[in-house]
Amino acid sequence: MSKILSDVLKSEFFKWLAKVFGHWIARIGCAGIAAFQLVYGLWQREAPPVITWCLLFGCFCVAVFFAWRDEHRKAEQLEERMRSRIKVSCGKSVDQSVVPGSGEMWFRARLDLEGRTAVPDIEASVTGLWEDEQKVPLHEYLILTMYPGMRSLHDTNLKTLNWGRPEFVDVIHITKDSLAHFPLKFNPGSVDVFNLLNPGHTYQARVAICSSSPSHPTKVCMFEFEWTGDPDTSDLRLVSVTPP
């Protein structure tokens, strides 16, 4: 019996009935009780019974609750639409992610804005590297360039991501001599960046994508790059993103 009652309470019909009854109390009940009190006062020449005032107060409270709930839901929906997130994608199947030119090739992570609020001062860094699942020691984290790179001595290469206009992180650059490397803002002397990626190996790079905005937490992406020695048969793949 208890299971049947539980199933009834969880049914779509009961939920619909509860909503209809709640709205009826809030919208029709108040008007009906108020009309009854008015007619009773005119007809009997005395104050309406106390019970009617209690019912009227109860209906008023229900009406106030439903009005607050509807506005609260609208505010939450608007906030959800306005809240922005960075969507990360890459690979040859992603538009403008793999770009050949002048005998070179760039494998880039594409950043798209989901939402309307711009994300300022984006920077990406390689914080971990694995070769065929074996960890490669890095004495420094490697700060990647954002397309189109640093165009002047005063260019910080920090990008603002806006809705409708993607930004790109240069993750892997293949030179004319088929040399694969991480394109960096600057080369730290403690890391031999031009000898990190060797043909015939599969690499996983952990990349942190950061912003100066406190409302946008750092995204930690794991990219996989299978370097065959030929850029046409190699590709960059996104393995995971935290938080999604």
How is the chain split into domains, by residue range?
A: 2-82, 85-242
Which residue blocks in the chain are alpha helix, DSSP H? 2-10, 12-23, 30-44, 50-82
Q: CATH: 2.70.98, 2.60.40, 3.30.160, 1.10.3470. Which one for 85-242? A: 2.60.40
Beta bridge partners of 224: 204, 237
Per-residue pLDDT in tens (0 to 9) along the chain, 244 residues = 555 555 544 566 555 545 555 555 555 555 565 566 556 556 665 666 666 656 556 666 666 666 667 666 766 655 555 567 899 999 999 999 999 988 999 999 999 998 888 999 999 999 999 999 999 999 899 999 999 988 887 888 999 999 999 999 999 999 999 999 999 998 888 888 889 999 999 999 999 999 998 888 899 999 999 999 999 999 999 999 998 6
Q: In angstroms, rounded to a whole number, what is the distance separating the alpha carbons of residues 60 and 142?
A: 62
- pTM, 2 dp: 0.68
110/91 Cα distance (integer angstroms): 9
Please state, in angstroms and rounded to a whole number, the distance separating the CA atoms of residues 80 and 15: 25
Joined together, the tokens standing for residue 228 give: 């065959």
